[in-house]
């Protein structure tokens, strides 16, 4: 079951976007680039309309919430910001209000639609080195599904990165410096799954708690991506709006409703101006 929430795209939404558009674009050559309004979070480089045509999309990868289109001479980075969506549409489809950038591929085009303009389209030339050196990617934690975060290695990372940190574990996770992709909804759900109180100081996490938390993060994100899998066809449909999906939540947005494990009412607190939901009985400090 999918639940639509009016929140910004998080890692599962970006990963499903990648899965949705990659089969249509990989191996294709850009015929034109149209920058309709390049005033996004950072200005869209104007010379893309000259430098990209003729280049092939070799692969579409993802790092954190950045989509990385591997081109002949570098990487095109796309971030969906708060409200961005990407669609593959026939080139003949008229542009819509809030369409910001299009990549044309002959008869079809990839369109970035972004009402609030917090998204980004950036360029990293191969001449500046591998994509990992790109400033916005350098501080990101490991990928939750990478070999580095598999099994007990993930627990090791959470344990080591949290030592001496007095910040609440919820905010520690949300910051993404240990592992990327655990957005606000997924933080609440992962901590519930691991039985950890969201206000517990990160530095006080025990090694077994880190082990449970790493496993919970992988499980929750995997479920969200699987839930979004049913929306893949929406990426080639101008009416489709996959928005935000999540498998049915156990605590998130369930304040006062009975815990699905112990029946106690779910609590809500605010941490760093974001809502956290948890069960006072199932989650211990």
Catalytic status, residue 284 = no
Catalytic status, residue 90 = no
* Annotated active-site residue in 29, 41, 223, 274: 274
Q: Does 266 bind Zn ion (CB under 5 A)?
A: no
- Span of 40-48, 71-79, 94-102, 257-265 interacting with Zn ion by CB under 5 A: 257-265
Sole binder of Zn ion in the list 42, 139, 261, 284 (CB under 5 A): 261
* Annotated active-site residue in 62, 65, 250, 254: 65
Q: Does 47 bind Zn ion (CB under 5 A)?
A: no
Q: Does 257 bind Zn ion (CB under 5 A)?
A: no
Q: Does 279 bind Zn ion (CB under 5 A)?
A: yes
User: Least separation, in Å, of the C-beta of 230 and Zn ion?
Assistant: 29
Q: Does 251 bind Zn ion (CB under 5 A)?
A: no
User: Least separation, in Å, of the C-beta of 200 and Zn ion?
Assistant: 16
User: Least separation, in Å, of the C-beta of 3 and Zn ion?
Assistant: 20
Sole binder of Zn ion in the list 139, 281, 284, 285 (CB under 5 A): 281
Catalytic status, residue 9 = yes
Q: What are all long-range contacts of 223-226, with beta carbons under 8 Å and residues at least 24 apart? A: 223/247, 224/10, 224/12, 224/186, 225/12, 225/15, 225/16
Sole binder of Zn ion in the list 36, 133, 150, 262 (CB under 5 A): 262
Q: Distance between CA atoms of 172 and 182, rounded to whole angstroms?
A: 10
Sole binder of Zn ion in the list 48, 142, 214, 259 (CB under 5 A): 259
Catalytic status, residue 65 = yes
- Span of 86-94, 105-113, 157-165, 252-260 interacting with Zn ion by CB under 5 A: 252-260
Q: Which residues pair with 271 in a beta bridge?
A: 274
Residues in contact with Zn ion, shown as a per-residue x/- string from 208 to 247 under the rule CB under 5 A: ----------------------------------------
> How would you write the chain as a 3-class SS string?
CCCCCCCCCCHHHHHHHHHHHHHHHCCCECCEEEECCCECCCECCCCHHHHCCCCECCEEEEECCEEEEECCCEEEEEECCCCCEEEEEECCCCCCCCEEEEEEECCEEEEEECCCCCCEEEEEEHHHCCHHHCHHHHCCCECCCCHHHCHHHHHHHHHHHHCCCCCEHHHHHHCCCCECCCCHHHHHHHHHHHCECCCCEHHHCCHHHHHHHHHHHHHHHHHHHHHHHHHHHHHHCCCCCCCCCCCCCCCCCCECCECCCCCCEEEEEEECCEEEEECCCCCEC
Of 115 and 195, nearer to Zn ion (C-beta) is: 195
Question: Which residue number places its CB atom closest to Zn ion?
Answer: 259
> What residues make contact with Zn ion under the rule CB under 5 A?
259, 261-262, 264, 279, 281-282
Catalytic residue ranges: 9-10, 65, 274
């Amino acid at each position: 079951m999918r639940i639509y929430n009016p929140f910004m795209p998080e890692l599962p939404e970006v990963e499903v976007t990648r899965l949705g558009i990659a089969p249509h674009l990989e191996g294709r050559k850009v015929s034109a680039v149209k920058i309709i309004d390049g005033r996004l979070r950072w200005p869209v480089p104007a010379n893309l309309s000259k430098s990209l045509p003729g280049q092939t999309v070799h692969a579409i990868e993802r790092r954190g919430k950045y989509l990385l289109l591997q081109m002949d001479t570098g990487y095109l980075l796309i971030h969906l910001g708060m409200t961005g969506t990407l669609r593959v549409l026939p080139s003949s489809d008229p542009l819509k209000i809030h369409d910001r950038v299009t990549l044309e591929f002959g008869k079809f085009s990839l369109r970035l639609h972004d009402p609030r303009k917090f998204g980004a389209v950036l360029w990293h030339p191969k001449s500046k080195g591998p994509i990992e050196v790109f400033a916005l990617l350098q501080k990101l934690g490991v990928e939750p599904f990478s070999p580095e975060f598999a099994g007990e290695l993930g627990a090791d990372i959470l344990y080591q990165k949290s030592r001496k940190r007095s910040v609440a574990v919820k905010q520690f996770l949300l910051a993404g410096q240990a592992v990327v992709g655990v957005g606000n909804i997924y933080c609440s759900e992962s901590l519930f799954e691991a039985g950890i109180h969201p206000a517990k100081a990160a530095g006080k996490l025990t090694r077994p708690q880190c082990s449970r938390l790493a496993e919970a993060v992988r499980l929750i994100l995997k479920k969200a991506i699987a839930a979004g899998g049913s929306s893949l066809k929406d990426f080639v449909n101008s009416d489709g709006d996959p928005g935000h999906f999540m498998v049915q939540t156990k605590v998130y947005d369930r304040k006062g409703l009975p815990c699905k494990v112990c029946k106690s009412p779910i609590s809500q607190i605010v941490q760093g101006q974001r809502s956290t939901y948890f069960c006072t009985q199932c989650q211990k400090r």
